[in-house]
Amino acid sequence: MDTLSMIFSFLIGAAMGVVIAHSWNTYVAQQAVEKINNLFGELWRQHTNLLQEMKRDMDNPDYKFQREFYILRKNQRFSSGLTKPCLAYFLDEHDNLEDQLKTLEAHGFISNVTEPNKNNFAKYQFSEKFVELLRGKKS
C-alpha cells in the first residue's frame, strides 16, 4: 500500500467517524427533547390549573423577564421590598400547591430559592427551559 492510498483511507475513515458521531449526537439530542416534551405534557395534564396560570404570567409582557415567584395565602400580608411587580401563587387557589411545586422542582423546572431567616415566604425560581416550554404551549 503506498502512502497516498494510506492517507486517503485515513481521511475517508475520519470523515466516516465524524458523520457517524454527528448522527449519533443528533439522535441523542432529539431523544432528550422528546423526553422533556413528553414529561412537560404529562405534567400539564396533572397540574393544568397551576401551569395555565404560570403560562398566562409568562405570556404577560409585564413579567417578560420575571423568573422568581412567591407562595402565599390570600389574606397574608406581603412586601417583597421590590419596586417592580412580583409573581405570587396562592395556596388557597391550588389544591396541594406545595406538592405540585415539589414535583416541578424534582424535574428541574423550578428551584426553591427561599432565603433563610429573611421572611416566612417561600420563594421559587423558574428555569429558562420551563419558561420556554410554558410560552410554547398551545392552549
Check whether residue 36 and residue 53 sit in a common domain: no
| Residue 59 and residue 77 in one domain | yes
pLDDT digits (tens, 9 = 90+) for 87-135: 999 999 998 999 999 999 999 999 999 888 766 788 999 999 999 999 9
Given pLDDT bands bounded at 50, 70 and 90, which one contains residue 57?
very high
Residues 56 and 93 in one domain: yes
Q: What pTM was estimated for this model as a whole?
A: 0.74
The answer to whether residues 66 and 93 belong to one domain is yes
Instruction: Examine the pLDDT at 79 and tell me if it is beyond 70.
Output: no
Burial label for 51, CB within 10 Å (0-12, 13-18, 19+), is: buried
Beta-ladder partners of 108: none
Look up the domain containing 87 and give its range. 47-136
Rg of the chain (C-alpha set): 23
CB 73 within 8 A of CB 91: yes
Mean of the per-residue pLDDT values of the chain: 87
Is residue 71 within a helix (H) or strand (E), and if so which, with residue range?
strand 68-72
Question: Is 14 in the same domain as 74?
Answer: no
Task: Answer yes or no: is pLDDT of 2 > 80.
Answer: yes
User: How many Cβ atoms are within 10 Å of 109's Cβ, its own excluded?
Assistant: 23
Total domain count, the chain: 2
